[in-house]
Structure formats: structure tokens, C-alpha cells
Amino acid sequence: MDFSILVSDFPSLTIDGIVVGAILALVSLGYTLVYGVLRLINFAHSEIFMVGTMTTYWVIQQFGFTGYEDPLPLWKFASLFILFGVTAAIVSGVAAVVLEIVAYRRLRVLGASRLSSLISAIGASFFLVEVFQKISGAKNLDFPRLLSKDPIFTIGSAYISADKILVILGAAAIFLVLNRVINHTKLGLGIRAVSQDERTATLMGVNVNKIISYTFLLGGVLAGLGSAFYMVFYETTKANVGFLIGISAFTAAVLGGIGNVKGALYGSFALGLFQQYTSAVLGYNWKDVVTFVILVFVLLVKPTGLFGESLQKARV
Amino acid sequence: MAKFNVRDKFGDWWDQTSPIQRGVFRVVIIAIAYAIPLLKNPIIDTPETSFVSVLFYPLIMFSLMAVGLNVVVGKSGILDLGYVAFFAIGAYTHALLSAHTSLNFWEIIPFAMGFAMLAGVILGLPALRLRGDYLAIITLGFGEIVRIIAVNTEAIGGAAGLTDIPGPNSIFGIEFTVMDPRPYYWLTLTVLLLVIWGVLRLSHRKPGRAWEAIREDEDVAEFMGVSTLKYKLWAFIIGGAVGGIAGAIFASNIRSIQPELFTLNLSIMILACVVLGGMGNIWGVILGAVLLGYIPEKLRFLSDYRIIFFGLLMVVMMNIRPNGLLPRKKRERFKEKSA
């Protein structure tokens, strides 16, 4: 226990917390959106994120980086980032849609119990992890340094580097677009309608199956974009990378109120900051234990989270 | 889908037999189970590891854990994804108590059970107020947390784990040695039979009916006066105790344990046994454990891919036969009988 680190490193911990929170937010939105329409936790969502990191890694491999180059000039990095970001988003989005069709749809049509859907999703999750375990040889896949981690400027003791700026600004832009999609498009209207009341939405002429597919697509795309930021910031992935990120993102969604888009955002930033502060005090090894304790605590004290379960009223 | 239900066919036949026939049937089955390691049969032999060691782990060990998990998942409908935690607690209890106290294996068993039950209460009291998905995530987290704590705590061996764990003392003239897995098989089989007997007794009585009511509809059960939290907690504790014994026996057999033995994969594998065999039916669950333990050992090329296969199996089973190979008894049978 060393609280002096917390005081002396407070600015840098805060910046890191915001960066981690932004990445968590992109993943936890997927949990929240799917929960909104299906009232079901998409257990395999963390694997959709993992597929995104793997896609990013694969795209970068095609350019023959050895890992020892100098960081790229900005324009080159930007075009490369757009390339692997978009590819990861597409692959993750498609994977999420396929997941819904394979693991959820038939069970939903049959009206099977929630336990069945859950077990089916866990099966799908394990299948994906193991397939990528075999492909990647169960080792850490290291990403080349594309963007310099040298500080550009400092705030107090915090060094602000280009990758942190990229994550924060990029995530902010995505949230604005998502806000637009959910509140001002026909698709967003459909998603909100199904979240509010599936049967009434059907009667009003909403194609529920289509909306559910699109919701999975949206969640997958967000996770894919999140995975591209994750790779630039953390620079490594492995087949079971999704598990702990998934637990954190899910905790963030619950903390903010699952089903609530705004809640997922705030919950993610709160959790990101909290994780940084507590791991500075307790040691990094205990980070996941802390996350789990928060999850249990929130579920016990206020299971609806800080902002309650409401997608239809949510503003991003 | 489940038009053909072996469980019901067998159940009908069972109802028509006389008590003497049933007794003979039971004795024969139990005798066969005890005699299996003495058989020399090339057809059931496994290619790489000796058949008797496969018989102990995974076959009988999986069966014991699956029967324990079945009380939680199958009977009461609580999805527990952290069952391995109880197994780990049992194993660590045996390893630590035998190192730091003068207790022998047989005296440690009640402690292993007790600590696992205590863990069940500590996790269950807060968690069991929650339902379905939330509960699944909490138990999943619990399983991982127990492992992470074991890795991070140097006092209980850290990531390197614990070594030099003693085996059980000899009992009734049977020696427990490192070389011979058969005594461990007989020990586990005895425990398994006792557990099956206990679970069957409970299922036919008030707790069993309460579990069933909770599984079918928790709200209605609550309205009907079933104190749901109490019975869910008991299911959890009983499942945990079985996991604890299994862990202690496992530790006494392999003699050294590391946190990496107790990963989520094991929880999922046991869950796969329960799901494949038929949630809620003990015989189905044992069939599932035997199949999932035996097939990867027999077909060695499959064993590297077993988790892929199990994952796929869970998706496919849920989609085409959600009640498993041997589904639990249909309620209609009871209605007919009482009508």
C-alpha cells in the first residue's frame, strides 16, 4: 500500500485512466446495446473484440514490419490506421452478426430459456478463443510501434503522447457519430423501439430480427474500432485477450446501468480511472480483483447502475 | 425434439421391477464399476496414458465434479461458471493443512469440504440474490479471482504452487502410492456413490422439489412459499462441498499443485459434461463426464482440439437438443402417477 505514488503520479494516472476508459467504453457499448434489445448479456462479445485485435495484427503483418522501425510519419500512420481500423471494424461487425445467427437466433425463435442462450454463447466464446489459440500458437503477438510514445507536452507529471491523444480524440469522434446514429436515424429509432418494447415494435412494423442483427453489427463495429485503438496503445494481443477486457467492459456497463448508452460511457471512464488509481496503490496484479469487487458491489447495492436501465431515453 | 427419451423408457421399466430385481441390478452395476480397473481389455484401453490413470483422471474425477455441479446447474438452474474455485479450494486445503499441521488426509477431508462450503456461503449469500446472467458473470469472476489470488499470494506458493503433498494413509490394507492410480479410483468411486445416494435422497424430498420449483420459475416458487435464497444457497453449498472433496483427492493423487491447474477451462469442461449428458439427471451427467473424459484420451488426435470441440458441442447441443443426451425426468410422468 503506497499512497504517495497516488499523489505524485495523479496527473499521469488520470490521463491513462481516461485512455483506458475510452477503449473500455467502445467495448462496453456493445454489451449495453445488445442487452437493450435482447435483455441478454452477449457473453461472446469479448471474443468479438479479440477477433478485432487479431485482424488489426494481421493487416499490419501484410506490410512486413519487423518491430524495429522508427515510428511512422503522421500521414503514413493515419492512412494505415484508417486501413486497419476499418478492416477490424468490418471483420468484428460481421463476426458479431454471424455469432447472433449461429448462437442466438434459433434459440430466440424457439423461445428457449435464458440459460440455454447463455450456454450457447459461452460455447461460441470458447470455440473462438481456442481457434485463435491454435492459429496464433498461444503466444503474445507483438504489434510494431507505429506511433511514437515520446511525450509531446506535459500536464503536471503526466506525459501526453500522440497515441493517447489519438485514442481520446478518436473515441470522442466515434461517440458523437454513435449519438447521431442512435438518436437521429431510422436504425437508431428501431433499436430504441425494440429496446423499449419488442412486441409493440413488431406491431408498429419494425422488423425485429433485422434490428437485432444491426444492433449486433453496431456493437461489433464499435468493438472492432476499440480493438484498433487498443493495439496502438497496448501493442500486444493474444487469443485470450478478450476475457479480462470483457469483464472490465461488462463491469463498466453494469456500473453505468446496463442497457443505458450514456451509462456505459460514464461507467467506462469511472472504471478506467478507478483501475489506474487502485493499481497504483495495490499493485498491478490486483487490478482484476478490484474490478471484480466493484462488479459485485454494484450488483448488490444498485443493480440498475448509476444511470438506470434505459436505452430509449439515453443520450450519448 | 426429445420424443425418444431413454430416461423415461428406463424409468418405466424401473417402476415395473420388483425390489429384489432392483437390488440385484444396483449391486451388479456397482460391482462392475469397482471391477473396471482390474479388467484387461484392449478395446477400452487408451493409447498413450495407461487406462487405469485415465480412469481416475479425468473419468471418475469429472463424474464426481459433474454430479456436484449438476446440483447447482441442473437441479436448481443456477449457472455457475466458477465451479473450479471449489475444486481449487479443496486441493489447496489438503496441500496447506498437510504441510502445516499433523493432520492426515482422512482428517483433512472434512476441512476441505468445510472450506469449500464456507466459500459457497461467502460467494452465494451476496451473489444468489441475483439472477441468470448476472449470477453467471459473478461466478465466472469468482473462479478467476480465486486463481489470481493463488498466483499473487506467495504464502500459498504463488505461481509456482505447492509440492510434496502427501497421499492418503493406507486404509483397510490398501496402500495409496504414486505409481498405482487404482486405489484413488476406488476412493473416488466410493465418494461418488455416497454423493449420488445423498443427492437422490435430497431430490426426492423437500429440497429437491424446492430446487425444481426454483429452476422452473423462481418468482412463482417464491410466491408459493419456497424460501428461494435458502434452497439456492444449499444447492451452492452442496455443490461446493463435492467440489472440495474432489479437489482434496486430486491434490493427494498428483502430489503437487499450481494455480494453472484450476483455470476457467476446467469449469467449462465440467459444465460441458453436465450440458451434454442432460442437466438435472445424474445418470445423464455421468454419461456426459465419461464421454467427454474418455473420447479425447482414446482419440488422441482430438485431445489438442478438445476445447474447440467442447465449445462447438455446447452451441450445437443447445440448438438441437437443449436437454442433453439423457434428459431429466419429464414432469408428466409424475402427474400420471398421482392422478
Q: CB neighbours (10 Å) of residue A266?
A: 19
* Higher pLDDT pick, A72 / A54: A54
Secondary structure of A52-119 as H, E, C letters: HHHHHHHHHHCCCCCCCCCCCCHHHHHHHHHHHHHHHHHHHHHHHHHHHHHHHHHHHHHCCCHHHHHH
- Specify the higher pLDDT residue, B131 or A271: A271
Neighbours of B85 (CB within 10 A): 28
Give the one of A128, A285, A296 whose C-beta lies nearest to B126's C-beta.
A296
Q: What local confidence, expressed as pLDDT, does residue B64 receive?
A: 92
For A3-14, what is the HEC assignment? Answer: HHHHHHCHHHHH
Instruction: Determine the Cα–Cα distance for residues A202 and A24; give it in Å rounded to an integer.
Output: 33
The answer to whether the CB of B267 falls within 8 A of the CB of B84 is: yes
Residue range B129-163, pLDDT digits in tens: 877 677 887 888 888 888 888 888 888 877 887 88
Half-sphere CA count of A147, side-chain side, radius 13 A: 25
d(CA B304, CA B291): 16
Which of A103, A113, A131 is the closest to B315 by Cβ?
Answer: A103
Whether the Cβ atoms of residue A247 and residue A292 lie closer than 8 Å to each other? yes
Q: Residue A285: list chain B partners with CB under 8 A.
A: 148, 151-152
Q: Which pLDDT tens digit goes with each residue over A34-60?
A: 988 888 888 899 999 999 999 999 998
- Separation CA A96–CA A220 (nearest Å): 5
Distance to chain A for B242, nearest Cα, Å: 22
Distance from CA of A227 to the nearest CA of B (A): 22
Give the pTM.
0.82
Is residue B326 less than 8 Å (CB to CB) from chain A? no
Q: For A134, which residue in chain B has the nearest alpha carbon?
A: B305
Q: Which of B76, B80, B137, B219 to mutate to test the interface with A (most CBs of A within 10 A)?
A: B137
Which pLDDT tens digit goes with each residue over A79-90? 889 999 999 999
**CA-based angle B299:B82:A243, to the nearest 5?**
80
In chain A, which residues have their Cβ closer than 8 Å to the Cβ of B145?
288-289, 292
Nearest CA in chain B to A119: B314
Band the pLDDT of B239: cuts 50, 70, 90: very high
| Residue A153 dihedral angles phi and psi, to the nearest 5° | -150, 170
Structure confidence by residue, pLDDT tens digits, A145-184: 877 777 878 777 778 888 888 999 999 999 999 999 998 9
The contacts of residue A41 (CB under 8 Å, 6+ apart) are: A31, A34, A35, A118, A250, A258, B133, B134, B136, B137
Give the nearest partner residue to A127 out of B142, B145, B312, using CB atoms: B312
DSSP letters spanning B77-128 = ----S-THHHHHHHHHHHHHHHHHSS--HHHHHHHHHHHHHHHHHHHHHHHT
Segment A86-98 shows an average pLDDT of 95
Distance (Å, rounded) from C-alpha A107 to C-alpha B50?
41
CA separation for the pair B319, A119 (Å, rounded): 10
Question: Which of A107, A128, A300 is closest, CB to CB, to B319?
Answer: A107
With a pLDDT cut of 70, the percent of chain B lying above it is 89
The CA-to-CA distance between both ends of chain A, in Å, stands at 37
CA distance B338 to chain A (A): 28
Place of cell 465434479: B65
User: A169, exposed or middle or buried, with CB in 10 Å at 0-12, 13-18, 19+?
Assistant: exposed
- A281 or A92, which is more confident: A92
Give the one of B77, B275, B308 whose C-beta lies nearest to A127's C-beta: B308
Which residues of A fall within a CB distance of 8 Å from B315? 102-103, 120, 123-124, 127
Contact A193, A205 (CB under 8 A): no
Element (H, E) at B329: none
From chain A, the residues in CB contact with B126 under 8 A are 296, 300
Q: Which residues of B touch A104 (CB under 8 A)?
A: none
State the Cα–Cα distance between residues B299 and B306, nearest whole angstrom.
10
Is residue A255 exposed (0-12), middle (13-18) or buried (19+ Cβ within 10 Å)? buried
What is the distance in angstroms between the Cα of A133 and the nearest Cα belonging to chain B? Answer: 10
Q: Which residues lie closer than 8 Å to B74 by C-beta, 6 or more apart?
A: B274, B278, B279, B280, B281, B285, B328
Q: State the pLDDT confidence band at B338, using cuts at 50, 70 and 90.
A: very low
List residues of chain A with CB under 8 Å from any CB of chain B. Answer: 40-41, 43, 102-103, 106-107, 112-120, 122-131, 133-134, 243, 247, 250, 254, 285-286, 288-289, 292, 295-296, 299-300, 303
Contact with chain A for residue B322, Cβ under 8 A: yes
Task: Check if the beta carbon of residue A226 is closer than 8 Å to that of residue A48.
Answer: no
- Give me the interface pTM, i.e. the ipTM: 0.78
pLDDT higher than 70, residue B323: yes
More confident residue, A1 or A297: A297
Question: Would the pLDDT of A261 be above 70?
Answer: yes
- Residue A208 and residue A202 in contact, taking contact as beta carbons nearer than 8 Å: yes
Angle at B67 between CA B309 and CA B321, to 5 degrees: 45
Task: Write the CB contacts of A46 (distance below 8 Å, at least 6 apart in sequence).
Answer: A27, A125, A242, A243, A245, A246, A247, A249
Over the stretch B76-112, which tens digit does the pLDDT of each residue have? 888 888 899 999 999 999 998 888 887 888 889 999 9
Nearest CA in chain A to B152: A285
Query: Cβ B318–A250 below 8 Å, yes or no?
Result: no
Contact call for B142 and A116, based on CB within 8 A: no
The interface residues of chain B toward chain A in range 241-270, judged by CB-CB distance below 8 A, are 264, 268
Any chain A CB within 8 A of the CB of B136? yes
